[in-house]
Amino acid sequence: MENTKTANFSLPPNDGRPYLGDVAVVDGIVRSFLSDVADKAEKGDSDGIVAALDDMAAIFGGQNAAYAGIEGWHTVTELGQYAAMHLGIDGEQSLHDILRSAFGMAAQRMLDAIQRLDMDGDEEKGQFEVDVIAEETMAAMTGTWEICYPEDGA
């Protein structure tokens, strides 16, 4: 099943919760997640990393009431298929598993970038790689891939 829709950016509820349709909010959540994973990896806290993956799946799966979601978006047929299509994930899974995979891939790519940075010392290139990972993950979570990457034609 292929989903080519983008998210319906309904107005956020006026209740003070971070709105998952706001790309700046999502970018901040993704970057915080990546920073948290880097800290946990440095400490050897693999259980903490798994918990962070589950937290992200709960937030973007609409299971964390502290965040306001995009109406109708946080389902396996909408966000799940959109993220699977754009990130190359098996879409025949639960939404939770698709989202865990998406954030797991982002975390692994970021840890690989850190390892390369440690080897070659090019901080500018390392920061660029992390920025790309964060932007791609944000675009997949918010349904804005076509806006961020119009040349992909997807």
| Residue ranges making up the domain that contains 83 | 23-148
Is 12 inside a domain boundary?
no
Please say whether the beta carbons of 104 and 53 come within 8 A.
Answer: yes
pLDDT in tens, 108-135: 999 998 888 777 776 777 788 889 999 9
Using alpha carbons, list the distances in angstroms from residue 137 to 102, 107, 119, 132. Answer: 7, 10, 25, 8
Across the chain, what does the average pLDDT equal? 88
Give, for 33, the enclosing helix (H) or strand (E): helix 23-43
Residue 14 lies in a domain: no
Tell me whether residue 32 is in a domain.
Answer: yes
Statement: residue 1 has pLDDT above 50: no
What global pTM score does this model have?
Answer: 0.86
- What lies within 8 Å, CB to CB, of 147 at 6+ separation is 6, 139
Any residues with CB less than 8 A from the CB of 97 and at least 6 apart, and which? 57
pLDDT tens for 30-46 read 999 999 999 999 999 99
Q: What is the pLDDT, as a whole number, of residue 147?
A: 74
pLDDT per residue over 67-111, tens digit each? Answer: 999 889 999 999 999 999 999 999 999 999 999 999 999 999 999
77 assigned to some structural domain:
yes
53 within a domain of the structure (yes/no)? yes
Does residue 94 belong to any structural domain of this protein? Answer: yes
Number of separate domains in the chain: 1
- Which range is least confidently modeled, 1-5, 10-14, 99-103? 1-5
136-148 confidence digits (pLDDT tens): 999 999 988 877 7
Cα gap 109→131, rounded to integer Å: 11
Contact 122, 103 (CB under 8 A): no
